[in-house]
Amino acid sequence: DHHVNYGSGSGLQDRVAFVQTDPSQYDASIRLADLQVSDTGTYQCRVKKNTVAVHEVIVTVQEKPVTPQCWTEGEQIEGGSILLRCYSR
């Protein structure tokens, strides 16, 4: 039907669009912009001609990792040894 059903309260209205201007030209791919963890879910493509064909895709959006904290242990001298430690939550 050339439209995207966003579901209730999904917040996708301004972030999803067809990749091609006219999805009836055999490409009904969509692009999700500015992904958020709340976008995780099952997405469904329904194509109607004489019958209805349905395909579902499960999308899992993970959180962006936190910038790691890094530091060195040991004296930084030529020929010496140091330990580089990094930690991220």
33-83 tens-digit pLDDT: 988 888 898 988 888 878 888 889 999 999 888 899 999 999 889 999 999
How many angstroms separate the CA atoms of 75 and 64, rounded?
34
Residue count (the chain): 89
Query: Given this model, what pLDDT does residue 10 score?
Result: 66
| Confidence (pLDDT) at 28 | 80
* 37: three-class secondary structure by DSSP: helix
Q: What is the pLDDT of residue 83?
A: 93
Residue 9 DSSP class: T
Domains annotated for the chain, with CATH where assigned, are: 1-63 (2.60.40.10)
Q: Which of these, 61, 43, 55, lies nearest to 4 by C-alpha position? A: 43
pLDDT of 8 > 70? The answer is: no
| Count of CB atoms situated within 10 Å of the CB of 19 | 10
pLDDT of residue 32 exceeding 80, the answer is yes
Task: Enumerate the β-bridge partners of residue 42.
Answer: 58
